[in-house]
Chains A and B, each alone.
Chain A
C-alpha cells in the first residue's frame, strides 16, 4: 500500500492547479447568474490535455491511468471554482469518451475520439426520461428496426451538455419484451434529422453547465450507429456509471480542500469577543470535521480509482465514493457558510454557489439513495 503521489503526479498536480487558477475562473459570478457556458475554458482544457487524459495515446489521448486522471481532476476542483464547467467536462469524459473507448468499433473510435479530445466536439449521453430516472432501464424511448436502419422515438430530460453538444449517445429499447436486455446505445450527431434539443432547463446550481430536454421524433439512424451491440445498453451504461461514480467527484475533493483553507484563514483572522473565532471549539471542531471528511472521501475515491487502474471492477467502491463525497461536500459547504456567518451567505464570498453546485452531486449519476441500494445489494439485500 502506498498513500503518496509519485513525483511526476505531484508535479502534474501543481501544474494543473496553476493552469486552473489562472485560466478557468474568469467572470464566474456573472456567468453563473446568466447561465453561460465557457467555451474558451473548454478549448483551453483540451489544449492542456484534460479531455483526453484517460484515452490511450494511439487515439491522441494522454494515456494516463485512473489515479493520475483523478489527481488532475482533484487539482482542477481546487484551482477552478466553476463547478458547472467541471461538471460538463466530467459528463463529456465519463458518459461519452469512456463508453466510446470501451464499446466503440475501431472505426467509431477513429472517427470520434480525436474530435472529442481536441476540444472541437462536446459529448453527452441521454438516458433519463420524464418517467424513468433511478429506474433507468424502464425507459420508454423505442428504436424500431426497419431493414438495416432504426427509427427512434422518445423524450429525454435533465440532459447535460445538450445545447452545445455534438455527439449524443442515446439509449433506446429495441425490444421491450426483453426489458433491460433490449436497451441499446446509439451514436447520433448534432443536427441529425429527428434529433431535437428541447427547452433549456434552469437549475439551482451548476448553472454554467447547460441542461435541457431532448426529443427523438422518427429519428432514423443506420445500424452502424449502434454502440456495442443490440441489447448492450445496460453494460454500456453500467460501465459509464462505474467510471463516472469513481471520478466525477474528484473535483469536489479539491473544492473541499479550498473551502477548508478559506475557513482556516478566516477563523484565524476574524475576531469576536476579543479573540479569533478559531479559538472557539465550536468553530475549530467544524474545521476538524471538514478535514476528516476530506481525508475519508480521498481514501474512498482513490481506492475506487486504484481498482480501475488495476483493470478491476469497482462498482461497489465507486458507489461508496460517490455517496460519501457528495454528502460530505454538501456538509462542508454548509459548515463553511456557517463559519463565515453573514459574509458566508453573500454571493461575494462564493460559498453559496459552491453549496448550490454541491447539492446536485446527491442526485446525478444515481441518487444517494440509489448508491445505498447498490451497496446493500452487494450484501444480498
Chain B
C-alpha cells in the first residue's frame, strides 16, 4: 500500500464503519477526524469487527498493543495506522 492509494483506503474504511457500525446505532454521518469512540459508533465489540475488517481487507496484522483508542478512534487515525504498518 502506498500513500497514493490513500483516498481509496479511506473510502473503504469509512464505508465499512458506516454500513456495519454506525447505521445500527442510528448514526448516518460522521467526519473523518471525529472520534467514533466518543460518539458511540465504535464500542468494545466494534473494535474487533473493525480489526477483523482491516486484517482481511488490507492483509495486515494488528497486534494487541495496537488495538487502542489512539489508533482506532477515527477514520483518519485508522488510515494512519494502515500507512504506518505498510511502511514497516
Contact = CB atoms under 8 A, between A and B. Distances in A.
A50 interface: no
Interface in B26-74: 37-38, 43-45, 47-49, 51-52, 55, 61-62, 64-65, 67-69
A315 B49 CA distance: 9
Interface stretch (A72-80, A210-218, A231-239, A348-356): A231-239
In which size bucket is the chain B interface? 20 to 34
Given A180-B43, A312-B55, A380-B24, A231 B69 contact: yes
Given A181-B37, A315-B48, A380-B24, A235 B68 contact: yes
Nearest to B24: A380
Contact of A374 (B38, B45, B69): B45
B20 interface: yes
B52 A229 contact: no
A231 B70 CA distance: 10
Given A102-B64, A374-B45, A313 B55 contact: yes
Contacts of A234: 44, 47
A378 interface: yes
Contact of B47 (A102, A238, A311): A238
Contacts of B44: 137, 180, 234, 238
A235 B64 contact: yes
A121 interface: no
A377 B38 CA distance: 20
Contacts of A374: 45
Nearest to A310: B61
Contacts of B62: 313
B53 to A, nearest CB: 10
Contacts of A181: 37, 69
A59 interface: no
Nearest to B63: A311
B20 A380 contact: yes
Contacts of B20: 380
B27 to A, nearest CB: 14
Contacts of A316: 48, 52
Given A181-B37, A312-B55, A313-B55, A238 B68 contact: no
Contacts of B38: 178
B69 A378 contact: no
Contact of B51 (A102, A103, A313, A380): A313
A232 B65 CA distance: 9
B49 A378 contact: yes
Contacts of B52: 313, 315-316, 378
A229 B68 contact: yes
A368 to B, nearest CB: 16
Contacts of B48: 238, 313, 315-316
9 contacts: A103-B65, A181-B37, A228-B65, A231-B69, A235-B47, A235-B65, A315-B45, A373-B45, A378-B45
Q: What 6 A-B pairs come out closest when comparing CB atoms? A: A315-B48, A377-B45, A239-B64, A235-B67, A102-B64, A380-B20
Interface of A: 102-103, 137, 178, 180-181, 228-229, 231-232, 234-235, 238-239, 311-313, 315-316, 373-374, 377-378, 380-381
Given A378-B45, A380-B19, 6 more contacts: A102-B65, A229-B68, A235-B47, A238-B44, A315-B48, A315-B52
